Amino acid sequence: MDHALTAATRTAGLFGGSFDPPHLAHRALAEGALAQLALDELVWVPAQRSPHKAGQAPAPGADRVAMLRLLSAGEPRFSIDSRELERTGPSYTVDTLRELHAERPGTRWWLVIGQDQYARFDTWHEWREILALAGLAVAARDGQTVRAAPGLAGIPYALRIVEMPALPHSATTVRARAAAGLDVTALVGTPVARYIADHHLYRIAQA
């Protein structure tokens, strides 16, 4: 039986990623998940490093947490969980979900992911266990059709589509613009843009 989706007293979303840096499309997806899934809470989980982006050198964890606090300000249902920054080695979503289940019994979890992640979900570490621990909430930009990973065919799991506007934002674009000394306010908002400038982040483009 799917123990994540029965006898729940609260509903929460887990939104993980490098957030290097967090930008307005992240905020739009988080707000969409709150509203469309009727979440009691959405937990942002910055990763130490993504197992799917080997070799990428992220900005310091403390800076990414600080930028997340700025980006998520004003919404009391947002929270930030930095446990993955404290792990050594690759950090896997399944480990975080197991810990959250132990800490918050009775909470129904939704894993908030993008279309690209959904399309390759069957490459994730212990992805079948993830499906037992959480439903998948997949972003769909401007009504686009989402495509599941081939390995998900014929497997029962909880799925919700989160509609969001098609914002041309990406962390790669933000880093490139910041490295070139260009303004990134339209992509990340004023508080995060100021933080990037004040702390001289991405002046040397990161891999």
Give residue for tokens 């613009």: 177
H helices present in the chain, as ranges: 24-36, 61-71, 93-103, 115-119, 127-133, 171-179, 185-188, 190-198
d(CA 158, CA 4): 10
Taking the C-alpha atoms of residue 171 and residue 180, their distance in angstroms, rounded to an integer, is 14
- Rounded to whole angstroms, how far apart are CA atoms 187 and 123? 30
- Global confidence as pTM: 0.89
User: Rounded to whole angstroms, how far apart are CA atoms 50 and 71?
Assistant: 21
Domain contains 177: no
Question: Does residue 204 register a pLDDT over 70?
Answer: no
Domain count, the chain: 1
Instruction: Give a yes or no: residue 188 inside a domain.
Output: no
Q: Read off the pLDDT band of 142 (50, 70, 90).
A: confident
Whether 206 is in a domain gets the answer: no
Instruction: Work out the percent of the chain whose per-residue pLDDT is above 90.
Output: 78
Tens of pLDDT, residues 101-141: 999 999 999 999 999 999 999 999 999 999 999 999 999 98
Domain assignment of residue 199, yes or no: no
pLDDT band at 53; cut points 50, 70, 90: low
Whether residue 108 is contained in a domain is answered as yes
Q: Categorize the per-residue pLDDT at 52 as very low, low, confident or very high, splitting at 50, 70 and 90.
A: low
Q: Is the pLDDT of residue 58 over 70?
A: no
Residue 207 domain flag: no
Query: 172-194, pLDDT tens digit by residue?
Result: 999 999 999 999 999 999 999 99
CATH number at residue 83: 3.40.50.620
d(CA 31, CA 110): 14
Full domain range(s) for residue 30: 3-167
| Residue 184 maps to a domain | no
Closest CA to 195 of 90, 39, 67, 32: 67
Residue 157 lies in a domain: yes
CB 134 within 8 A of CB 14: yes
